[in-house]
């Protein structure tokens, strides 16, 4: 079985989408519609902006969403048997499996990005990648401290932690003492997927509750529980909880493989972020980019 997988924040790059805009009339129409919905020309920032501009959460998230969704829409290569997205990528997934319309998906991403940007502006949180240490060891270290949690289970030996600056710094030190190969502070605006995103979660929940979700054409494997769902009510709840819960990407891919998926196509971003993680999770499955 084949699956589309969609990247999240940190997969952006200057010039993203410009080739599609210039070579495909349908892509141009999608970008112009997005500019109208957002109220500013995000396409200009995506095509000609700076790296610093693209790093702003309020810009990054709709940019990555648009790049992924438009690329998948103009390709129309096949109808996937399932979809999954890393954090923000869940919203791309939900448009491609027709659970959300393009317009509603973009509006929710805009709301999510602005809410998270507001939370980030408080300046009290950060994240760090712990490399070369078993998940259980990192979990025990985090659970033994206050204000830091495991946030992104990316692949074996790569777990991202999230929390206050002081707590993340202390956890990094303890992980290195426990044998981690590296502990890298990430260049992010806040403590994503932790309780510090609670204000953003409440704002996003209000927007999701007002949005219509269709019955999807194929299941989505969601970050919160790594399990498949086709129930719009369940999808909504999981999407809200995602902001303050870990991204269980490694577990998601394993469950998809157990369910019969043997081909993963990454759509959007640089086209290599998720493929690299999938290869680390299981080298026997096929992973490629669209």
Which tens digits make up the pLDDT trace of 87-116? 999 999 999 999 999 999 999 999 999 999
Q: Which fold has domain 125-185?
A: Alpha-Beta Plaits (3.30.70)
Q: For residue 229, indicate whether it is catalytic.
A: no
For residue 115, give the 3-state DSSP assignment: helix
**Residue 218: is its pLDDT beyond 90?**
yes
Q: Please give the order of strands across the beta sheet that includes 158-164.
A: 148-155, 158-164, 125-131, 182-185
Comparing C-alpha atoms, which of 153, 176, 152, 170 is closest to residue 162?
152
Question: Which sign, positive or negative, has the C-alpha torsion 204, 209, 211, 215?
Answer: positive
Do 125-185 and 2-121+194-289 have the same topology in CATH? no
Main-chain dihedrals φ then ψ at residue 69, nearest 5 degrees: -65, -45
Percent of the chain at pLDDT exceeding 90 = 86
Angle at the Cα of 48 from the Cα atoms of 46 and 54, rounded to 5 degrees? 45
Q: How many helices (H) and strands (E) does the chain have?
A: 13, 10
CATH superfamily, domain 2-121+194-289, is Malonyl-Coenzyme A Acyl Carrier Protein, domain 2 (3.40.366.10)
Does the annotation count 162 as an active-site position? no
- The per-residue pLDDT of the chain, averaged, comes to 94
Which of 87, 92, 155, 162 is flagged as catalytic?
87
- List the catalytic residue out of 193, 194, 250, 289: 193
> Rg of the Cα trace of the chain?
18
Q: What is the DSSP letter of 145?
A: S
Predicted pLDDT of residue 190: 87
Separation of alpha carbons 89 and 9, rounded Å = 8
Taking the C-alpha atoms of residue 182 and residue 130, their distance in angstroms, rounded to an integer, is 6
Q: Where are the domains of the chain?
A: 2-121+194-289, 125-185
Q: What is the pTM of this model?
A: 0.94
pLDDT value at 59 more than 90: yes
Give the length of the chain: 290
pLDDT at site 162: 97
Predicted local confidence at residue 79, as pLDDT = 86
Give the bridge partners for 263, in sequence order.
2, 286
Contact yes or no for 12/69 (Cβ under 8 A): no
Average the pLDDT over 223-240 and give the result: 97
Torsion of Cα atoms, 63 then 67 then 69 then 75, to 10°? 170
Q: Which residue has the tokens 């999701």?
A: 208
**The pLDDT value given to residue 25:** 96
Give me the pLDDT at residue 217, please: 97
Distance CA 167, CA 212 (A): 39
Say if residues 228 and 220 touch (Cβ distance below 8 Å): yes
Q: Are 159 and 247 in contact (CB under 8 A)?
A: no
Q: How many CA atoms lie within 13 Å of 54's alpha carbon, on the beta-carbon side?
A: 23
The answer to whether 54 and 14 have CB atoms below 8 angstroms apart is yes
Q: Is 130:172 a contact under the CB 8 Å cutoff?
A: yes
Determine the pLDDT at residue 121: 81
């Amino acid at each position: 079985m084949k699956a589309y997988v969609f990247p999240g924040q940190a997969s952006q790059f200057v010039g993203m989408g410009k080739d599609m805009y210039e070579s495909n009339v349908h892509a141009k129409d999608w970008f112009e519609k997005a500019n109208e919905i957002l109220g500013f020309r995000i396409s200009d920032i995506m095509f000609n902006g700076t790296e610093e501009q693209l790093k702003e959460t309020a810009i990054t998230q709709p940019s990555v969403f648009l790049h992924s969704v438009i690329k998948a829409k103009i390709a129309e290569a096949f109808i996937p048997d399932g979809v999954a997205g890393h954090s923000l990528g869940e919203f791309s997934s939900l448009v491609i499996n027709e659970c959300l319309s393009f317009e509603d998906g973009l509006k929710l991403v805009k709301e999510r990005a602005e809410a998270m940007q507001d939370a980030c502006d408080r300046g009290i949180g950060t994240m760090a990648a712990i490399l070369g240490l078993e998940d259980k060891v990192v979990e025990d270290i985090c659970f033994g401290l206050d204000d830091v949690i495991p946030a992104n289970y990316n692949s074996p030996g790569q777990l991202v932690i999230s929390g206050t600056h002081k707590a993340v710094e202390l956890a990094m030190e303890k992980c290195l003492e426990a044998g981690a190969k590296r502990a890298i502070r990430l260049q992010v605006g806040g403590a994503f997927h932790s309780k510090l995103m609670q204000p953003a979660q409440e704002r996003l929940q209000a927007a999701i509750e007002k949005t219509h979700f269709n019955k999807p054409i194929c299941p989505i494997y969601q970050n919160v529980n790594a399990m498949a769902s086709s129930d719009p009510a369940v999808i909504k709840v999981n999407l809200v909880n995602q902001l303050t819960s870990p991204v269980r990407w490694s577990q998601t891919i394993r469950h998809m493989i157990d369910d019969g998926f043997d081909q993963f196509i990454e759509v959007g971003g640089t086209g290599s972020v998720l493929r690299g993680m999938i290869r680390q999770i299981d080298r026997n499955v096929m992973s490629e980019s669209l």
